[in-house]
Structure 1
């Protein structure tokens, strides 16, 4: 692979990962609602979703999506419904936050991981991002690696950089949440803020992806 292209890709990935977006908001919301482990596992779930997107893009799912664009509409609707479900469930959970303020996070860590993975997989913008962004950094010529191998390497770079940023954000959000978890009113407010974030992401998915 061309070293200049790889360095340019690393710089672009760093800028993209640092920019606040739906995935980062989702991770922070889970960290606030469930603590440090929930925040970090949400970041790991997002990275798992990116790994699936990377493999799919490398082995030709992108061509299939381009041939059947209506599939993106179905994915968009499914993702929005899933986020709305999370918003409602989190809001309902906030009603008992005061009674369980000193207890361990109620949402299982396995569920947090799965939710993050499914949320990433259900976002059609991630698919479009892979189709539009990664090919710009694929080298050509007789000495270039096969396109599939290049896509896998570029996807791995994106995942590593994204996980470093997202994991840090989830850890910080969870640390803040755990330090003030003993305050029932604040915990309830944070639960409801998380619910609002999930609902906002669902609305954005429905409007911006049209």
Structure 2
């Protein structure tokens, strides 16, 4: 795998993970309601959901591309459309005030499973994996199998996410107060995330055009 692509992927996923979204909000609200252990278990639950998404995307998409290489072009075009849509909705969402609502006290096991199910039930996560990951796949005779590359990239995304979500769960009280007091912080991070989506969509379109 190309080291430069891996570095770019790591930076992009870090920026996307630090932007407050449904998963991070779920982690913060449970951390505020149930303490540090609840917040950290919520982060682990989200990561568990991402493991399932990663494996499903790797084997499903890898199987398709291995037997029909031109499918990667189709996926990239569809991915560009999805990324542009996510850029638009993320930018639009940055104008909406973040409401860290109270959630009822739950058992730690329930918090974990609810976090995993919340992530698994989010269709945007599925679309994100299919749109974002394939553009970092290396092609050529010396390249790793597509499935292996997607599993590595999925693992990187999960680890990067846990590096953000874990501390957010442990420090959820402090973070929630900071975000609530400074709505401009969330707005700025959401707009950075929207910009990342837009740049990646443009890169997908450019690569698809030059490889034809």
Alignment match, 2:60: 60
**CA deviation profile, 1:178-210 (whole Å, cap 9, x unmatched):** xxxxxxxxxxxxxxxxxxxxxxxxxxxxxxxxx
Give the CA deviation at 1:45: 0.3
- CA shift, 1:115, in A, is 0.2
Give the SS at the match of 1:20: coil
Structure of higher CA gyration radius = 1
Report the equivalent of 1:115: 114
Match in the other structure for 2:10: 10
Q: How far, CA to CA, are the matches of 2:48 and 2:115 in structure 1? A: 9
CA distance in 1, matches of 2:29, 2:47: 16
1:149 corresponds to 2:148: yes
Residue 129 (structure 2) aligns with: 130
Question: Is the 2:61–2:147 Cα contact (8 Å) retained in structure 1?
Answer: no
Shift in Å, 1:154: 0.1
Q: Does 1:162 find its partner at 2:161?
A: yes
- Write out aligned runs for 1:167-178 (5 A): 167-173=166-172
Contact kept in structure 2, 1:39 and 1:174, CA below 8 Å = no
Change (3 A) 1:38 1:176: same
Structure 2 unaligned runs (5+)? 65-73, 75-101, 177-212
Q: Give, in angstroms, the shift of residue 173 of structure 1.
A: 1.3
CA distance in 2, matches of 1:176, 1:19: 13
Alignment CA distance shift 1:147-1:40 (3 Å): same
> C-alpha separation between the residues in 2 aligned to 1:61 and 1:32?
38
Check the 8 A contact 2:27/2:39 in 1, yes or no: yes
Q: Cα deviation per residue 1:148-179 (whole Å; 9 max; x = unaligned)?
A: 000000000000010010011110015789xx
User: Per-residue CA shift, 1:108-153, capped at 9, x if unaligned?
Assistant: 1111000000000000000000000000100000000000000000
For 2:168 and 2:158, locate their aligned partners in 1 and report how far apart those are by CA, in whole Å.
15
Q: Which residues of structure 1 form unaligned runs of 5+?
A: 67-89, 94-105, 178-210
- 1:41 is displaced (CA, Å) by 0.2
Q: Please report the RMSD computed on the Cα atoms of aligned residues, expressed in angstroms.
A: 2.1
SS at match of 1:60: helix
- For 1:17 and 1:176, locate their aligned partners in 2 and report how far apart those are by CA, in whole Å: 15
Normalization by structure 1: what TM-score?
0.62
Distance 1:34 1:168 in 2: 15
Is this contact kept in 2: 1:32–1:176, CA < 8 A? no
Which residue number in structure 2 is paired with residue 32 of structure 1? 32
**Paired residues, number:** 139
